[in-house]
Structure 1
Amino acid sequence: MEHGLVPPSLHVVRPNDHIRFEESPFFLADRVMAWPRGEEPRRAAVSAFGMGGVNAHVIVEEPPAPVVRGVLAQDSHLLRVSAADEPTLRALAGAYAERVAGISGEELGDVAFTANAGRAGHRFRAVVRGADGREVAAGLREVATGGLPVSRRGGAAAPVAFMFTGQGSQYAGMGRGLYAAEPVFRAALDECAGLLAPYLDVPLPDLLFGGATDRLDRTRYAQVGIVSVQVALVRWLESAGVRPDAVVGHSLGELTAAWAAGVLGLEDLLRLTVVRGGLMESQPGAGAMAVVHADAGTVSSALAGFAGVEIAAFNAPRVVTVTGPAGAVERFSRESGLRCRPLVVSHAFHSAAMQGAVAPFVEAVAGTPLSPPEVAFASSVTGGWHTAESVTDPGYWGRAIREPVRFSQAVATLEEVGAGSVWEIGPHPQLTSLARASWAGAHPVWLSTLRRERTDQAEVHTALATYVNQTSGDLDWPALHQGKGRQTVTIPTYPFNRQRYWVSADPPGTTMNHTNEMRRPQRHG
């Protein structure tokens, strides 16, 4: 089939004289013959008539010719190796390394697709990431030689937690790589763009990737951009099999967390984000904020001499953010004796300057259908768990604008679910280091989805590989490749770990008695 050749019949020099081939459409192939291609695909019937009644008849047909595919460009690839035991897995990793070394682009994507979606998943697994065949092969060789640990799946997967970043994580081009390479991400972002069209004077893709990215410095645009990217990230991760069992959000991020927890629908999330950002941006007065590296008690005592300055966020045991009028915050930073770092902001968020935004936002939320959370949801206002009453109270969402963010306490509450992995959902990691400092017990695996200094696929693929390699979780591998135009190609077969069990012959002179007991030959002196 592959080479277009008809093999000769074995051990035949000339046909039997009683077979009149010339009167039939059949002929004897006594040598290798060309198999011309016709209008129909090549088909062959293969028969085996063995002595003793062993008969087999198989009809085979050549596969369809490859078609021109609209393959999405990728700058990162994931390849999973899976086997029933560790030695076999390491042997398979070595074979895969030889297969991918020196290839890249479309061919590497097809190899990864075949291995990930076309081969069964077993108990032992390892996932490697790379930009090209050389990098993937290097990771596979580490697996083959024992340089990388192998994950063993067993029992229920550990809970997954999502943390949603707030304002300040945005930058021009955030999510551009995933928008180009991941169909689910792109579809989700396009859906957000359609729902936002009545509220924005610039299309969402232009705001994120086009000529309007300079507007991301403004609160009303920044908040919409961040939330839209977070929605697309959640949709894509969930399609790949990563779904949260618990959520928490920092300030703006608590709105997206509410959507991820099933509290409100996507259209309402985006509408409320537009309202929230517009109200906060329209508040008068020049404000400032600063990060203070000290515990809350020390900061609270130091604030006594600086009127108008208040705590905006309890981010970690020794990381507090202060907020207030620009002049007052600058004086606090100079004269308090504490180590302070100014934040680049336009307003004094979570301060008295935001009071004018509270009532209008509560009114906007009051007209929105809200439901009890479907997963555990930690509150960044109270620091405890959300209840059906708190999360559906419009007044709560007004408090979230004005009151300080109790993120450190919320993380301590989140710890109660026993998460095996915590994913930071947003354009750039801001919360992971803070959450680490607030986590008292054994740490989960910390994962980020996007990072300003790294390509989108490289960052999130690293997170997915780490998730499989270091936790009991797994991915929906066929879904991860869906819509990317991949096709199955030849890859190394499963190297069965064969073991020989041979019963040695009995020693000479051994006899069996009537009880089938073996007797050794007697030695006589």
Structure 2
Amino acid sequence: MTCSPYSNISQYTNSGTNSCMVSNRISYEFDLHGPSFSVDTACSSSLYSIHLASEAIRKGDCSMAIAGGVNLMLLPITSVGFCQAGMLSPDGKCKSFDASADGYCRSEGAGVVVLKPLSRALADGDRVYAVIRGGTLTNDGRTPGIANPSYDAQLDLVEKACAAAKVHPHDIQYVEAHGTGTKVGDRTEANALGQILGRGRTKEDPPLYIGSVKSNFGHAEGAAGVAGIIKLALMISKGQIPRVVHFSSPNPDIHFDALNIKVPSTLLQWEGKGSRLAGCSSFGFGGANAHLILERPPTPDLHPAIENSGKVNANHFTRGTERETKTIMLLSGNTKAALKEQVEHWISFLSDTTAFNEDRFLQSLYTAANRYQHHAERLAMVVNGPDDAVQKLNLMARGEKLKTAVEGKVPEGAERGKMAFVFSGMGTQWWGMGRRLALEEPVFSDVMQRFEDVLKTLGADWSIADMLTKETNPDKINRTDIAQPCICAVQMGLVELMRQYDVIPDAIVGHSVGEVAAAYAAGLLSFEDAVRVIYYRGKELCKTSGHGKMLAVLHPMKEVEELVEKDENRNIINVAATNSPNQIVLSGDDNAIDSFHNKLKSRGIKCVLLKVNNAFHSYQQEQVKDSILKKLSILSASSRTTEAQIPMISTVTNQWLSSDVTNTAHYWWTNIRQQVRFMQSAEVLLRDGYSTFVEIGAHPALGPALKDIQSTSNSRTTKQNIIPTLVRPRDISSPADDRENILVATGALHVAGYPVNFSPAFEEKHRRVRDIPTYPWQRVLCNAGTETSSSRYLFPQTSHPLLGQAQETTEGTSSQKSRVWCSNLSEESVPWLQHHILDGNVVVPAAAYMETALAATSEIFADQNVLFLKNLQFKRFMFAPTSEAVIKSTLQHKTTKEKHFSLYSKDASGAWVLHATAEVHKGDLTQPVGSTNVLSNVAERCFKTISSEEIYEAAEEAGFHLGSSFHCVTSCTASDSYEEAVVTAEAPEEISREFGRYIYHPAFMDTFLHTFACLSLLNDKYTGKTPAKRVPFSMKSLCIFNKMPSNVTLYFRISKKGPRRVVDITVTDPSGLDVICEVKELMFEDIDAE
């Protein structure tokens, strides 16, 4: 299809059409590295592929396989051939094993199965439909004819399959047969199955049931085997044997009773002793045979709940009786409409509360989150049971916003930007922070316990466990020596929790005390060293408490710095942090800060005193310098020289850090003493394409600063996200919903397009695949067009040369239909096309657009003698192809009397390009009268004779080269100003003999257009203007009253001058008595002569 004509062959032809690419492209798309090949054994191809895939797994060539088949009927050749061979059923039905079987019905289809070792599938929580016990492949060898089945070969096939599967033939309870519905094929197959599997069964044994899915939807040929396997796997899973449709009278050549075989005529429950065992056969018409034996899988054991649930853990963190049931719901669609429909499907799905216990509900959400493809339009929502989910989905469907839901579209490509973790500093601590995580999340509580163990070795006399879960004195958490380690511990726990969700940032930045946990997350500090740094940092800084204050000023930074420089206390006031262009923090002596605070307030500058007892990042910390350097000197002895696992930018130096810097006491002293340059570090990240900032901390503190920085920075990304991980409740006496906060954060990252593994959101027993609503396909017509070789079957040249034949027609009466036509355009099909050249390029004339619209109008309003087009718009040149091109015309139904016409062509990239539009009207129009008088009056004004040679010479001067098919003007007279003209025209024989193929032949109708263009050039010369090249731009109306004779008279009258000239045209027969057609307000546009 793609290679005819040969000019269609491109660099993509071979990679796009070879059969090997069907499988290889799947490996390419999903990055699969195991065996990848396409199988062609005709009708047994997909069963061959499944057997070969299962054998590859058994041999260890791969650990998982995708196998199946596809059958598409793109050309009639195969169907015609099988008809000639007498293989197809005249009534289009596969009557498997029936006396009336007379051939099969071809069908299209595609199907795949995923194969895994049973043990791995159970461990992965997969839904296992069936297990392949074994199978075999054989060939008929020589038979009376290559397409004739072999009874002996089929006996051998089934015997070998039973041996390979290590099953007794009488244990097989059902066979999904090839069963195409041919007399010879059905007889041979059924008798062979009965001879091996049915004969010799006792009266107590059930019969061997046989059936064929081909009776349901035809023979899918290359996909037939996988269709049978899918049917059989579903039967085994559901425990039901469906009836065989079209079966009423058994084929008399099949020995049903003697061989103990039976065709089910009603739906049966699959009963019997032991496991459900069944076979599946598939035969290629070249003799390639396959038979696989399937059985029921073992029932998977449900994994127990968390082992430590309800018990006191050895790490001092007592977990609750059960983990909170809140979890994440993820829905998506390729479009907003698809996502909206998905929401509606889930509302219906979950509304059946009787079907949803907690386990099934959570397993359904696990399936949606972890086993389905996520599309661009996404919704992530935290829910607590099916009732809560339905309530929230209904709110979302009404367009309401929820704090526990995030909705949006994944940015494309680089627009998504990179993601950074931002570690907040002092002031984010609060009593009860991280409590629910410490009690319910094993990963988080393990970090807390490990942190506490290290604290004990350093001599700490207080407990992280007490601070987070038991402490009854809320104010104790604000002590510097306790607050800083607790902030760091929670941040390190959050890092590990996010890592469990596979959330790994592209970069890391920390604010003041937050740099300690940030360095640990980046791999620049070991766990033990991070605890050591934060412990001594807090303990030593506690010594400076009570002598200073800190003031946050919300005002342009430079102005505040200038005010500090002018203040009399400038030597005892330091800039502690530059958080954003409009947020600066000052630190210093109590009295100095109070005085400056009052001065700022008097100026109307917004500022607030921070709730701290220290003047952090000020000269007051100098008193602990020696102690800090001494106690952290051990870092140098254990320093590492490896680079960071994740890049981290310093808010001390604004440089990217390495472990030989962070593993020094000096760096952590500067972290204490120097100004926090958060704004400058954030600006580096923004310039480098970072757009998403996840704040790691007990409460979001840096969001406003980040927004301020983003609003003034020269960022490479247009949209930024700031996502908190934990949020302090308004009433801290109530525990925070930490799990909900984490799920909202990971959901927001998912909606923003970052990879997140949501398996940790579900307990082991809920990691099971369930049936959930399928994807809501939008059923949008995607007319990709057809290449020229295939289009010859669809659009034979007996149709209209430009319009072609209708492809799609909506339901309704003729006047209510909308249609799409496609046709081939080439110099072979329209030879006159090569005679219309503009600036050296063969260009399809605008008259061809008009003719195509008329042809479409004629087809849809077949009862009309008068054809009427309005508001024609000539959008774009259509350059003639070097070989062939496909053009598409559409008529969209508006009312019974009006349609909208559009004309397209396919460009080199395969996209449709719009060239013209028009409104098609059905109206009771009558022919104008008095045309002779009009022309006689015109003749008095049009006395200037212009030869046809002058007209076509003018065309040549403007770049129009019109060949013989377009030389139709025989005489011309014009008024003195060229504003009116009368032209006679006669079609040359080469086009007049084609008049029967068109309504108005485009080459002849183009006389209306190019003649006026040439007269306009002559008018330019007459008026002393530079001659301008003009082409049709639009037309108010075109009304067709009569057939076009080969001789006509044209009357032109300019109704508007200027860059866009407008003309009216009346076309009559040579006598001037009958009006053929009328053109109103045909507008021409000047184009660049070059």
Q: Which amino acid aligns with 1:158?
A: G
CA-to-partner distance for each residue in 1:225-276, whole Å, 9 max, x for gaps?
1111111111222332322222221110112222222221111101111111
- For 1:465, the equivalent position in structure 2 comes to 747
- For 2:738, the equivalent position in structure 1 comes to 456
CA-to-partner distance for each residue in 1:168-212, whole Å, 9 max, x for gaps?
211122122333444433333333333333233344222211237
On the 8 A contact 2:362/2:762 being kept in 1, the answer is no
**The one of 265, 279, 284 aligned to 2:526:** 265
- For 2:417, the equivalent position in structure 1 comes to 158
- Check 1:136–1:434 CA distance in 2 against 1; reply closer, same or farther (3 A cut): same
- For 2:540, the equivalent position in structure 1 comes to 279
- For 2:617, the equivalent position in structure 1 comes to 350
- Check 1:181–1:99 CA distance in 2 against 1; reply closer, same or farther (3 A cut): farther
- For 2:490, the equivalent position in structure 1 comes to 229
The separation in 2 between residues aligned to 1:319 and 1:77, in whole angstroms, is 37
1:201 equivalent to 2:201? Answer: no
- Check 1:302–1:120 CA distance in 2 against 1; reply closer, same or farther (3 A cut): same
The separation in 2 between residues aligned to 1:335 and 1:501, in whole angstroms, is 69
- Check 1:284–1:227 CA distance in 2 against 1; reply closer, same or farther (3 A cut): closer
Q: Which amino acid aligns with 1:167?
A: M
- Check 1:3–1:286 CA distance in 2 against 1; reply closer, same or farther (3 A cut): same
Q: Which amino acid aligns with 1:110?
A: Q
**The one of 277, 297, 305 aligned to 1:70:** 305
| SS at structure 2 position matched to 1:168 | coil
On the 8 A contact 2:506/2:647 being kept in 1, the answer is yes
| SS at structure 2 position matched to 1:304 | coil
1:113 equivalent to 2:393? Answer: no
**The one of 581, 584, 590 aligned to 1:326:** 590
The separation in 2 between residues aligned to 1:151 and 1:490, in whole angstroms, is 26
**The one of 438, 442, 446 aligned to 2:709:** 438
Bigger mean CA offset, 56-65 vs 311-320: 56-65
Q: Which amino acid aligns with 2:381?
A: V
Bigger mean CA offset, 355-364 vs 133-142: 133-142
On the 8 A contact 1:307/1:328 being kept in 2, the answer is no
On the 8 A contact 1:384/1:409 being kept in 2, the answer is no
On the 8 A contact 1:91/1:144 being kept in 2, the answer is no
Q: Which amino acid aligns with 1:254?
A: E
> What is the CA distance between 1:30 and its match in structure 2?
8.7
The separation in 2 between residues aligned to 1:332 and 1:144, in whole angstroms, is 53
- Check 1:223–1:417 CA distance in 2 against 1; reply closer, same or farther (3 A cut): same
The separation in 1 between residues aligned to 2:282 and 2:516, in whole angstroms, is 71
Percent sequence identity over matched residues? 23
Bigger mean CA offset, 79-88 vs 358-367: 79-88
> What is the CA distance between 1:315 and its match in structure 2?
2.4
On the 8 A contact 2:359/2:766 being kept in 1, the answer is no
The separation in 2 between residues aligned to 1:222 and 1:169, in whole angstroms, is 9
- For 1:256, the equivalent position in structure 2 comes to 517
Mapping for residues 408-419 of structure 1, pairs under 5 Å: 408-419=679-690
The separation in 1 between residues aligned to 2:587 and 2:428, in whole angstroms, is 18
- Check 1:489–1:160 CA distance in 2 against 1; reply closer, same or farther (3 A cut): same
> What is the CA distance between 1:499 and its match in structure 2?
7.2
Q: Which amino acid aligns with 1:486?
A: R
Q: Which amino acid aligns with 1:395?
A: H
**The one of 767, 782, 791 aligned to 1:486:** 767
**The one of 130, 134, 156 aligned to 2:383:** 130
> What is the CA distance between 1:431 and its match in structure 2?
1.0
- Check 1:227–1:176 CA distance in 2 against 1; reply closer, same or farther (3 A cut): same
| SS at structure 1 position matched to 2:457 | coil
Q: Which amino acid aligns with 1:78?
A: I
- Check 1:83–1:61 CA distance in 2 against 1; reply closer, same or farther (3 A cut): farther
The separation in 1 between residues aligned to 2:762 and 2:538, in whole angstroms, is 36
1:359 equivalent to 2:612? Answer: no
Cα RMSD between the aligned structures?
Answer: 4.2
- For 1:80, the equivalent position in structure 2 comes to 330
> What is the CA distance between 1:155 and its match in structure 2?
3.5
Q: Which amino acid aligns with 2:720?
A: P
On the 8 A contact 1:423/1:446 being kept in 2, the answer is yes
Bigger mean CA offset, 148-157 vs 451-460: 148-157
On the 8 A contact 1:285/1:325 being kept in 2, the answer is no
On the 8 A contact 1:13/1:30 being kept in 2, the answer is no
Q: Which amino acid aligns with 2:586?
A: V
> What is the CA distance between 1:63 and its match in structure 2?
5.0
- For 2:79, the equivalent position in structure 1 comes to none
On the 8 A contact 2:619/2:673 being kept in 1, the answer is yes
The separation in 2 between residues aligned to 1:299 and 1:176, in whole angstroms, is 43
The separation in 2 between residues aligned to 1:115 and 1:203, in whole angstroms, is 41
Q: Which amino acid aligns with 1:518?
A: T
- For 2:278, the equivalent position in structure 1 comes to 45
Q: TM-score if structure 2 supplies the norm length?
A: 0.41
CA-to-partner distance for each residue in 1:37-71, whole Å, 9 max, x for gaps?
97x6x424255789989987552415516637416
> What is the CA distance between 1:455 and its match in structure 2?
1.5
| SS at structure 2 position matched to 1:259 | helix
- For 1:243, the equivalent position in structure 2 comes to 504
The separation in 2 between residues aligned to 1:484 and 1:302, in whole angstroms, is 67
CA-to-partner distance for each residue in 1:342-401, whole Å, 9 max, x for gaps?
222232222233212222222344321154444443322244554777545532321221
> Larger strand proportion, structure 1 or 2?
2
| SS at structure 2 position matched to 1:420 | strand
| SS at structure 1 position matched to 2:755 | coil
The separation in 2 between residues aligned to 1:201 and 1:37, in whole angstroms, is 70
On the 8 A contact 1:153/1:472 being kept in 2, the answer is yes
Q: Which amino acid aligns with 1:209?
A: T
- Check 1:361–1:416 CA distance in 2 against 1; reply closer, same or farther (3 A cut): farther
The separation in 2 between residues aligned to 1:306 and 1:135, in whole angstroms, is 58
Q: TM-score if structure 1 supplies the norm length?
A: 0.80
On the 8 A contact 1:162/1:425 being kept in 2, the answer is yes
Computing the radius of gyration from Cα coordinates, the structure with the larger value is: 2
The separation in 2 between residues aligned to 1:16 and 1:49, in whole angstroms, is 21
Bigger mean CA offset, 189-198 vs 142-151: 142-151
